[in-house]
Structure formats: C-alpha cells, structure tokens
Amino acid sequence: MGSGVYKNLIRNRDILHERTGSYLEVTKVAVRDLGRQRDVKVAPEKLTTDWRELVNDPEIDVIVELIGGDDEAFNLISAALEARKAVVTGNKAVLAKHGKRLIELSEEKNTPLYCEAAVAGGIPIIKAVKEALVGNRIDSIYGIINGTSNYILTRMTKAGINFAEALQEARDKGFAEADPSLDINGWDAGHKAIILGWLSYGRWLKPEEVSVTGIEEISAEDVAFADSLGYEIKLLGVIRQGQGDERIEVRVAPSLIPRTHILSSVDGVFNAVAVHGNVVGETLFYGSGAGQDATSSAVISDLADAAENLINEVGCTGFVPHGDYGAALPIEETLSQYYLRLSVVDEPGVLARIANITGENGIGILSVIQPEPKEPSKHIPLVLLLHDAAYGKIVDALGEILALEAVGAEHTLLRVETLEH
C-alpha cells in the first residue's frame, strides 16, 4: 500500500498542487526490510527501518501509517499525535481496538487523525458520513465491505464451485492474501463496521461486543438453495440504532439478500455501502474496496485534506463524535428473518414436529422447501424461511429441533436481510 501511495503521489503531483496549493513531498519512508525489491524506486537516503526517525523529524508535517497490525501501529500513531503531527492511517484493526484512545489524543493535542482508507478502500464512505450526510440521523448502514469474501461468494454463486475452490481461485488471482483468515472469518469487515458505528452514532463498541461470523461454513448447497429462493448470499455488515433505543447494533455475517435489492448485484472484489439517512433517504456508495490503487486514492485524499488544513492552521477537523463507549445491542435481541437448512429423516410427521417447536417459540414459517431426493438416502435437506424473530429465540428453537431423533446434526442458519429501515 505504501508503494501505491508513493507512486500515485508522484504521478498526480501537479494535479494535487493545483487543487491544494501545496506540494506533497515524501521526506522519509520507514520500511521493515531495506533490501526488499519494490515497485517504485525510492532514494536510499530516504529509507529507514525506524519509524521514530519520521516522528522526530521537525521537517515532517504528516505521518502516513500503513504498517498493519494494531499494537505497533498504535505506538506509531500515538507518538505522531504527541509530536503534533497530523496522521493518515488505513488501519482498521488499530482503530477498532484503540480508536477511542486515539481520538481522545487527537482532540487533546488538537492534531487531526484521518482514516478514509480504513473502510471500503477507494469508496469515500467516511468523508460522506462526516461531511455530506452530517445533517442526517443515520437510520442504518448495510455494507459489503470485504472484497475477498465477496469474490469467493460470487464465484460460488456464478460458477457453482465450492468454498475451497473459490478460495484457491482468489489466491491464484491475487485477491486473497497467503493468510486470508481475517477476510474469510469476517473480522476485516468487523473492524470496518465498528468504525462506521462510531462515525454514525458517536460511540465506540469494543470488538468483543460485536457479533462476527465468517463465510467458511457456507456450502455450495446453501448457495444453490438461496438462488432458487430469489436471494444471493453476501457477507453483510449491519450498523443501526433503533428509534428510541440508544443501544447500537453492529454485526457481520453471511446473509441472504433479495435479488431485487441492488446490493445483491455487487459482485467480485467490489464493495458497496448503503446508507439511509432520515433526511436524504437511501444512498449507495459503490467501488473498488481493496487493492493498491483504490487504497492509495483514499490515503491521498486524506493527505490533501491534511495539507489544506495545515496551510490554514486548522487543528482537529470539526467532526468529532462523542468518542465514549456506547451500549451494544446484545446479539440475542437482534431481529431479522432467517434461512434454516436441516438434514431430516424422510418420514411423515417430521415437518409437523419442527413447526410445533417454532410455533411454541413464537416463530412463524414463511416458506418450506423439501426437494425430492436424487438418490436413496436416510436424510434429506429441509429448508425453512422463518419470520422476523429475536436471534436468541431462534437459537433456543434450533436447539430443540436438533434434539429430535429425526433431525441430523448438519445444519445451516443464516440471516435473511430485507434491508428495510
């Protein structure tokens, strides 16, 4: 990412000068390995392995942090703010874990912290919420905010391949890291959702308060059933606050999205974020969510803001959410519809026993699919679409259903998001 920022700063140097009235000069670059071959050539005298040289250099006005991780990045950003140097970061993990402390330090030192690149790559979603939608109460945000997982689910849907095949394809095309765990386990999107929750409602949620489920267990069978029902499965981030309820709902999970909604058509490595404001209504932001150029575009946007604010002697940039920890809506209380795939014995009365359990738990059944078995088998799939219910009630009912002798252990429970407000 650092190479992309360096390359594009040089390429668009004159355009940036025309638009900001200043030249953005890279004075020094901290790297882990001085001998590593890079896509761009940097003068050897500009390179160092100690980021403290950048923080302690009085000629440097802005620090760009793109090292990843959280603890070392936190130390770097904190030191830069203490030295009253503006900071630009693309690090969602450090903000999700330490954002409250960093924002407090930014305010204390009257030194801005910019983070556009931390969410949705090249999509200017942070600036949109901070500036364009500042006069709105945010009713909800629904986001496809991880390109790797979206590529995998797209290929499972379009090509009919399984998860392992789609993941390998993503690796082969360079869309997945050698270790893609944060992408496929949902936490890359989870960190971004925490940041969006703070921007929208002025409250930080701790990572342990946020419900995050990845896509590792999504089967080709579930993708096919979702398709037959008129849905696509997407890893979806949900950020919202109920009317009259100060608690904040932030969660990430693979969910069924109606094919009639535009988010269902977001394919490949692209990201999209649907924001509903109480004044503007629904807005949609779409674009490349990852990659060197998309991320560097967001970083350079922040650098341009930093340069303009330095010239005009502006400290913190005006938009300052409350910054304290808010109360999270417990996952057990969150509401949605559900997709439930069970493996059941093919015998009379099974569906009636299951329906009796859902009914006793106050859960209605929207529809049922029980396909004819292609070959003789003790167990066959049974798919239920369930009415809106609290997640805790669903889990309780599912426990009772799985205890039935006629129901096997294999099952899939996914949310169905209507994307209504």
**Residue numbers annotated as active site:** 192
What is the three-class DSSP state of 217?
coil
Residue type, 285: F
DSSP string for 76-135: HHHHHHHTT-EEEE--HHHHHHHHHHHHHHHHHTT--EE-GGGSSTTS-HHHIIIIITTT
Mode of pairing for the β-strands spanning 113-114 and 86-89: parallel
Q: How far apart are CA 405 and CA 162, in angstroms?
A: 29
Please list, in sequence order, all residues whose beta carbon lies within 8 angstroms of the beta carbon of residue 165, skipping any fewer than 6 positions away: 155
DSSP string for 11-23: HTHHHHHHHHSS-
What are the angstrom distances between the C-alpha of 11 and each of 6, 27, 91, 295, 331? 9, 17, 24, 15, 47
Q: How far apart are CA 71 and CA 153, in angstroms?
A: 32
Q: How far apart are CA 318 and CA 19, in angstroms?
A: 21
285 is written with which tokens?
């932001």
Question: What does residue 234 show for φ and ψ, rounded to 5 degrees?
Answer: -130, 150
Mode of pairing for the β-strands spanning 86-89 and 62-65: parallel
| Nearest by Cα to 337 from 357, 364, 359 | 364
Q: How far apart are CA 332 and CA 392, in angstroms?
A: 4
Q: How far apart are CA 146 and CA 378, in angstroms?
A: 39
Length of the chain: 421
How do the residues of the chain divide into helix, strand and coil, expressed in percent and rounded to 5? 40, 25, 35
